[in-house]
Amino acid sequence: MSEKNKQGLAGILLMFALLCNSVPVFSQAFTNSSMGAIYAAFPEVNTTVLKLIVTVPSLMQLIFPLVSAFLERYISRNKVITIAFALATVGGVLPALFGNSIYFIIGCRAVFGAGMGMFAPYAMGLIGAFFEGEMRAKLLGWRIAFANIVQILFNFIGGIASNYGWRNSFFGYLVLVPIAIFVLIVIPDAPPIREAQKKEKRKYKFPAYVILMIIGNMLFRCLYTTVNTNLGIVINAEGIGSGTLAATVLSATNVAAFVTGVVYGFIPQRIRKYGTAIGLVALGAALLVWSTALAVVPYILGGLLVGIGFNIFGINYTNMVLDVCDKEMATTVMAVSTSIAGLSQFLSPIIMDFLSSVLKYEGVTGPWRLSATVLLPWGVVMFVAIYFIYRRLDQRKAAAVTSAE
């Protein structure tokens, strides 16, 4: 699509379609709030088995981003997106129709998770494929804000629907049908990568240093996951509050994430370039505060810092990766990044508990204190490195201008 076609109504529709393309990734919220009703409908089933309804889709997201990247080499982009929509819709709706066995439901959740996983690279990669610079930065931020709205809305709808029977929450996945039609009509198709490479007689870039960026994101995700795994445990163990406080803190995180997403693209570039460092320091500061807090207010303030830190780091990371890759490779790079980040989050509880024990970060707050010990110095180093990198770039630009004159 030409730059001219990205303006006016066509451009607005394209931007909205790119945001809607993220909906399947966050549609798991339909069933998260209905787990109580499902538990009541299957009282004979072990709770560990029941929890697979939530965890199996996440496990599938470790594998299927790579499947979509593989398929895109041989079939057109929109065909891959169609397969992903089909898997997510069928796997999402079937439990409502034939869900008499808990194992059938779990199997359907695996199919749904496969669709979610195939979508994950496109949620960010397609933004990089169609937009650059300031507009891309804004869209990556708006995607975060849009995702928070979608999750809140789907949680609410799923919870209300489950009051009239657990099956009703699964009917919510029918919303993916009109979204699929809209997305496939508006987003231009692209040929298979192998075909495009032969036509252009060149190989698309996957720079080696992107691997270092992916590894950095993997470490960040591992440390961030301690927020979700330890928050409720610490609050209860320290006698600070109950599950209600944990829910309030996470709500504060969602609010901060929404605001960060909305305003990110409007932050001046001279400040935004430090986004990665800001994210590291904000998350590290939040975990340090939580490690010593014995009251409600510090936890809520920490929740706000987590929402800012995690999302500004994520947007900046995605923007930098998309900057250095060929547009045609955007979804492939994001597929690799998504799978590795998912694996890091999956293994995080094991890794962090082991390291906390070995390094003598004892107690339920040990993983938080260890994470803060890594994040804060890392953030300071990134501030200094970014300052000197941009200073050097500015000096080169000035020298080039002088020599041209």
Give the other-Cβ count within 10 Å of 314's Cβ.
Answer: 24
> Any idea what the Cα angle at residue 262 is, between residues 259 and 265, rounded to 5°?
125
| pLDDT of res. 199 | 67
Sorting pLDDT into bands at 50, 70 and 90, what band is 162? Answer: confident
Q: What pLDDT digit, counting tens, does each position of 48-67 carry? A: 788 788 778 878 888 898 89
In this prediction, residue 112 carries a pLDDT of 92
- Which has more pLDDT, 288 or 34? 288
**Lowest-confidence range among 40-44, 182-186, 187-191, 199-203?**
199-203
How confident is the model over 5-53, as pLDDT tens digits? 456 788 889 999 888 888 887 787 777 767 778 878 888 888 778 878 8
What whole-number distance in Å separates Cα of residue 168 and Cα of residue 174? 11
Nearest 5°: CA angle at 165, between 163 and 169?
Answer: 80
* pLDDT score recorded for residue 404: 62
Instruction: For residue 76, count CB atoms less than 10 angstroms from its CB and return exposed for 0-12, middle for 13-18, buried for 19 or more.
Output: middle
Could you tell me what percent of the chain has a pLDDT over 70?
93
Residues 6+ apart with CB under 8 A from 135: 265
Render the burial of 7-19: b for 16+ CB within 10 Å, e for the rest.
eeeebeebbebbb
Query: Tokens representing 209?
Result: 């240093």
Task: Give the model confidence (pLDDT) of 77-93 as tens digits.
Answer: 889 999 999 999 999 99
In this prediction, residue 235 carries a pLDDT of 82
**What pLDDT score does 306 carry?**
93
User: Of 127, 146, 132, 130, which is closest to residue 24 (Cα–Cα)?
Assistant: 146
184, 78 in Cβ contact below 8 A? yes
Give the Cα separation of 334 and 337 in Å (integer): 5
Quote the Cα angle for 337-338-344, to 5°. 90
- Average model confidence (pLDDT) across the chain: 85
Q: What are phi and psi of 42, to 5 degrees?
A: -130, 65
Q: Which residue has the tokens 């810092």?
A: 305
pLDDT in tens, 323-357: 877 777 778 888 888 888 888 888 888 898 899 99
pLDDT at 153 over 50: yes
How far is the C-alpha of 216 from the C-alpha of 239, rounded, in Å? 35
In the chain, the domains with their CATH numbers are 9-200 (1.20.1250.20), 208-404 (1.20.1250.20)
| pLDDT above 90 (res 370) | yes
